[in-house]
């Protein structure tokens, strides 16, 4: 958007340049007679002046038209991006990497493990480590367990998991 605003003064400068061009044209056309020799009649000089003016004006209009449409196109693009960013919420899944063998997901930046079943439902539920004991109270095994009460999904613990 900032860039777009910078385009507008540029367009104005071009307009100013065009106006200066027309003024220059008037001066140049006075020189035509001396440049091309005195053999030209007044009518011929006026005719050259006329076509030069037509050329200048059409170039001017073309540049204006071009700038106008380019600005319009950029505006539409910015509008579309804005609409898209408003209508498409940021995907939670984009932030996580799926560890297929493990079944859970890991945050790409923080490394936080989250429950796969919950993440698919749009809930970021961290996993916590838990350990089971056997019937006589000895350590049996570690698991990763979903912290959400309605889920409690378990994932295998692997050696080296912190």
Residues that bind Zn ion (CB under 5 A): 115, 117-118, 125, 146, 148, 151, 153
Q: What is the phi/psi pair of residue 35, to 5°? A: -70, -45
**Roughly what angle, to the nearest 10 degrees, separates helices 2-36 and 42-87?**
170
Closest contact distance (angstroms) between CB of 119 and Zn ion is 8
- CB nearer to Zn ion: give 52 or 151: 151
Closest contact distance (angstroms) between CB of 151 and Zn ion is 3
- CB nearer to Zn ion: give 17 or 122: 122
- CB nearer to Zn ion: give 28 or 145: 145
- CB nearer to Zn ion: give 11 or 154: 154
Closest contact distance (angstroms) between CB of 133 and Zn ion is 23
Quick check: 155 and 102 in contact, CB under 8 A?
Answer: yes
Closest contact distance (angstroms) between CB of 103 and Zn ion is 11
- CB nearer to Zn ion: give 32 or 123: 123
Query: CA–CA separation, 39 vs 159, rounded Å?
Result: 101
Quick check: 114 and 127 in contact, CB under 8 A?
Answer: yes
How far from chain centre, in Å, is Cα 56?
36
Closest contact distance (angstroms) between CB of 159 and Zn ion is 23
Query: CA–CA separation, 20 vs 25, rounded Å?
Result: 8
DSSP classification of residue 39:
T
């Amino acid at each position: 958007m900032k860039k777009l605003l910078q385009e507008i003064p540029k367009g104005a400068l071009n307009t100013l340049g065009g106006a200066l061009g027309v003024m220059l044209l008037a001066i140049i056309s006075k020189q035509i007679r001396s440049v091309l020799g005195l053999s030209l009649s007044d009518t011929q000089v006026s005719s050259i002046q006329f076509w030069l003016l037509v050329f200048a004006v059409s170039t001017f209009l073309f540049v204006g038209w071009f700038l106008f449409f380019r600005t319009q196109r950029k505006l539409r693009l910015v509008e579309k991006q804005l609409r898209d960013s408003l209508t498409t919420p940021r995907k939670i899944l984009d932030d996580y990497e799926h560890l297929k063998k493990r079944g859970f997901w890991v945050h790409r930046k923080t490394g936080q493990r989250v429950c796969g079943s919950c993440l698919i439902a749009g809930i970021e539920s961290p996993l916590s480590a838990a350990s089971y004991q056997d019937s006589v109270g000895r350590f049996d095994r570690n698991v990763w367990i979903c912290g959400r009460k309605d889920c409690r999904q378990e994932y295998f613990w692997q050696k080296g998991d912190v």
